[in-house]
DNA sequence: TCAGAAAAGTATCCTAGTAAACTATTTCGC
DNA sequence: GCGAAATAGTTTACTAGGATACTTTTCTGA
């Protein structure tokens, strides 16, 4: 997939001042990069990053409300509806309208959904533990720690 | 009246194991977060993050080829075509087909484009220097440094 | 007690970005 | 030289995700 040769000379001469100091630009690059690593390791077959995180959260939190799920994953409710509907169509999740508040929707994996997660989780966990080649293990720990702190996650200091 | 903060409790109790250790998830959160900070500071009027980086790169590198621009910004060529066309329609950039290679397209800001950048750059630079509240200055430096290293940017160690 | 206000989710429309196939040039191998 | 392959960009058709406006249900205050 890499086609980066030939005009390296020209490309290397590009003046990227401002940008290399922009946290916005760097986080974008980082996300593109993690997506590439993801698909490199896991191929185009299994669930995508967003689907994976949704399923994993669903497995660990059966009965979670759809809105809470969206909020935790920083996905807009409108989009979460689509995601969940798609999972429902594939038979992976069950939508339950509880009696005590019939506006809300509680979600849980079906047996098929749990099977699907069980099938794909090992590859995902392995992918997650695979160290990106440009960073040391300790740098990764620091990076994750700083990212959590940056986005306002209760700093679970495991570093 | 009995349990008036039910959903707060529920939301806080969500088990996010796996996810809080996933670099993919964390980089996504980080990008969403930087976008929010961006629009918080700069409003919906001026250029968006992607447009800004394109314009800034164009200003610093007049005559840059469209493909090089795309490659540097990690934007797909197909999408870069649209971006550039939109800038052209607004009179901000000029497309030049050089004689020595008439397949390629060289780009440069017009006078109007430079004016537009000059108008919006101060707010952008100020935004960039505004420290995100959850990190210290030194943590930001480390974070940027690690992100650069993660995405494979020639480590320009200014930290 | 009942008229609004708020909450939860959904439907509709729209933009950003991608993939794959296509056009136009240039270069390479013989 | 000339046909094949590579390069640069574009077009078309699609997907992910977001904004906004709406239904339904629940809660609140006079």
Structure confidence at residue B12 (pLDDT) = 65
- Chain D bases closer than 7 angstroms to a protein Cβ: 7-13, 16-21, 24-28
Q: Which chain A residues contact residue B72 at CB under 8 A?
A: 11, 14, 16
Q: Is the dihedral of CA A35, A74, A50, B17 positive or negative?
A: positive
Measured distance CA(B93)–CA(B82) in Å, rounded: 13
Residue B28 lies in a domain: yes
The set of residues, in sequence order, having a beta carbon less than 8 Å from that of B138 and lying 6+ positions away, is none
Decide if B156 is inside a domain: no
In a domain, A64, yes or no: yes
Q: What is the pLDDT of residues B97-125, one digit of tens each?
A: 999 999 999 999 999 999 999 999 999 99
Total domains, chain A: 1
Residue B1 lies in a domain: no
CB B108 within 8 A of CB B92: no
Kindly state the DSSP code that residue A108 receives in the 8-state scheme. E
**What is the pLDDT confidence band of residue B133, given thresholds at 50, 70 and 90?**
confident
Give me the domain span that covers residue A91: 48-150
The interface residues of chain A toward chain B in range 61-100, judged by CB-CB distance below 8 A, are: 61, 64-65, 68, 71-72, 74
> What was the pLDDT predicted at B43?
86
CA–C1' B114–C22 (A): 35
Asked if strand C contacts B73 at the CB level, meaning under 7 A, the answer is: no
Q: Per the domain annotation, does A144 fall within a domain?
A: yes
Q: Report how far residue B12's alpha carbon sits from residue A55's, in angstroms, rounded to the nearest whole number.
A: 18
- Cβ contact B159 with chain D strand, < 7 A: no
Q: What is the mean pLDDT of residues B65-82?
A: 96
CA distance A89 to B69: 41
Residue B159 within any structural domain of the chain:
no
Q: Is A145 on the interface with B (CB under 8 A)?
A: no
In a domain, A33, yes or no: no
Average pLDDT value for residue range A122-143: 91
Q: Two tokens at B128?
A: 């960039």
Q: A153 in contact with B at a CB cutoff of 8 Å?
A: yes
Q: What is the pLDDT of residues B28-58, one digit of tens each?
A: 999 999 999 999 899 888 899 999 999 999 9
Tell me, what's the pLDDT at A44?
83
**Helical residues (DSSP H) of chain A, grouped into ranges:** 8-12, 23-42, 49-60, 66-73, 77-89, 111-129, 137-150
Residue of B27, B57, B130 best to disrupt the A interface, most CBs of A under 10 A:
B27
pLDDT, average across residues A6-30: 80
Using CB atoms and an 8 Å cut-off, which of residues 16-35 of chain A contact chain B?
Answer: 16-35
- Confidence label for A10 from pLDDT (cuts 50, 70 and 90): low
CB–CB contact B135 A147 (8 Å): no
CATH of the domain at A140: 1.10.10.10
- Residue A68 belongs to some domain of the structure: yes
Local structure of B96: helix, strand or coil:
strand
The answer to whether residue A111 neighbours chain B at the CB level (below 8 Å) is: no
Give residue A12's pLDDT band: very low, low, confident or very high (50, 70, 90): low
More confident residue, B12 or B75: B75
């Amino acid at each position: 997939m890499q086609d980066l040769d030939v005009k390296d000379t020209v490309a290397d001469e590009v003046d990227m001042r401002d940008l290399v100091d922009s946290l916005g630009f760097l986080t974008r690059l980082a996300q593109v990069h993690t997506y590439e690593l993801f698909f490199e390791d896991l191929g185009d077959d299994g669930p995508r990053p967003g689907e994976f995180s949704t399923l994993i959260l669903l497995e660990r939190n059966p009965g979670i409300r759809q809105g809470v799920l969206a909020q935790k994953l920083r996905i807009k409710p409108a989009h979460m509806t689509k995601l969940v509907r798609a999972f429902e169509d594939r038979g992976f999740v069950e939508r339950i309208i509880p009696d005590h508040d019939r506006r809300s929707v509680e979600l849980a994996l079906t047996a098929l959904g749990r099977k699907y997660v069980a099938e794909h989780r090992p590859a995902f966990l392995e992918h997650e533990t695979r160290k990106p080649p440009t960073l040391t293990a300790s740098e990764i720990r620091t990076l994750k720690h700083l990212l959590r702190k940056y986005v306002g996650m209760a700093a679970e200091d495991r570093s």
